Amino acid sequence: MGTMIHAPPSSPHPLIAHPSCDICADWRVSVSVWRELECDQINIRFVLPRSRIQWTEPRVTDTLPARVDELWKHSCVELFIGTSGDQCYREFNFSLDGRWAAYDFSGYRERISDLPSIPAPKIFSEISDDAVCLQVKLKGECLPCVGNLELNATAVLEKEGGSLSYWAAHHPCAQPDFHHRAGFVLALT
């Protein structure tokens, strides 16, 4: 496994595109992850490029965001959470329009058939001329485990024209693979 990277909220951690991906030279992606103990939640803040990316429109309603599958087929961000020494992990997917998904795995890509019953995350987005900021708040009960957590914060970006690029703090494989535990290099204690 790679070196653990501590990313406090004041220090965003850059994500890098997988070398096999076609990206625009000016694209930058970063993530910050931090825990708020007083309200038992974790926050994930992604800063993503706006230009030449196909984005879904942010939702403009107060209804709960929909839980849907296959968000990774288009622009979205993801968070994988596990603990050291345990093969089990949880995957979250979040989109700009508020849709989300969660999956539990008993080992590498061994999906547990039942989806976890957890509260909906709070998803906020902010769009400027050159960037998209997506912030997610997850209640502590959404976490699959307690203690020191190992994370893989990732992004899938759909370029205009439909090609996908895959972003992570570390790419341990020749092909993009966010599930590989050697990619879980961010720490949350």
**For position 106, what pLDDT does the model report?**
93
* Spans of all domains in the chain: 29-54+68-171+183-188
One-letter amino acid identity for 7? A
pLDDT along the chain (189 residues), means of 10: 48 94 90 86 92 69 73 94 91 92 94 82 88 91 81 94 93 97 89
**For position 7, what pLDDT does the model report?**
45
CATH class of 29-54+68-171+183-188: mainly beta
- Write out 118-134 in H/E/C secondary structure: CCCCEEEEEECCCEEEE
One-letter amino acid identity for 124? F
**For position 37, what pLDDT does the model report?**
79
Q: Which residues contact 3 (CB under 8 A, 6 or more apart)?
A: 185
Q: Does the model's pTM come out above 0.85?
A: yes
**For position 58, what pLDDT does the model report?**
56
**For position 113, what pLDDT does the model report?**
73
**For position 64, what pLDDT does the model report?**
61
Name the residue with tokens 């970006």.
157
CA–CA separation, 74 and 157 (whole Å): 7
Q: Which residues contact 1 (CB under 8 A, 6 or more apart)?
A: 150, 181, 182, 184, 185
Contact in structure between 49 and 130 (CB atoms under 8 Å): yes
